Amino acid sequence: MNFTKMTLKKKIFVLFGILLLFGIIYGIYEWNKPMRDVSDEKAISISANALYNDYVMDEAASNTKYLNKALEVNGKVTDVKKNDAGATFVILQSADPMFGVNCTFKDEPTGIAVGQTITIKGFCTAYLDDVIINQAILINQ
């Protein structure tokens, strides 16, 4: 009886070890996987106002349509700032005076001013009152 329990414990220990090893290998694979480059992606073109309104009207449908996809968004700049990591981001205007489309740039853009109409290309990553676009590149000023 004792021998059977010991064998069962060993089997469970070996199984746990194998699962842990696969988990570590998968984690290393994901960590080292190259990031997607937005400049190589085919983008969905949309205005900042239309994108924001889509999310306000139906967030679940908009997530299906836009989340983790490359978007080419054009709109009027209402704010230009730097985040805590030092990356520049802009807010593109929507019909809502408080919120819009928050675009964080991959590389430092030059010459962007409040009131200017720009087109950016980036990945839609979330909707948190603002629609969040990351790894953005400036397409046109």
Q: Mind listing the pLDDT tens digit of every residue in the chain (141 residues)?
A: 455 666 888 888 889 999 999 999 999 998 888 878 888 889 999 999 999 999 999 999 999 999 999 999 999 999 999 888 888 999 999 989 899 999 999 888 888 999 999 999 999 999 988 999 999 999 876
User: How confident is the model over 96-112, as pLDDT tens digits?
Assistant: 989 999 999 988 888 89
Helices vs strands, H then E, count in the chain: 3, 6
The pTM is what? Answer: 0.74
Residues 100 and 136 placed together within one structural domain of the fold: yes
Cα-Cα-Cα-Cα dihedral sign, residues 81, 92, 106, 57: positive
Same domain, 47 and 102: yes
Q: Is the domain of 67 the same as that of 18?
A: no
14 with 43, same domain: the answer is no
Shared domain check, 52 and 119: yes
User: Do 43 and 68 fall into the same domain?
Assistant: yes
Do both 49 and 78 map to the same domain? yes
Looking at the structure, do residues 58 and 124 belong to the same domain, yes or no? Answer: yes
Which CATH number does the domain housing residue 56 bear?
Answer: 2.40.50.140
Burial of 26 (0-12, 13-18, 19+ CB in 10 A): exposed
42/98 same-domain check: yes
Looking at the fold, whether 26 and 63 belong to one and the same domain comes out as no
Give the separation between CA 39 and CA 139, rounded to whole angstroms: 10
- Please state the domain count of the chain: 2
Q: Which domain holds residue 132?
A: 38-140
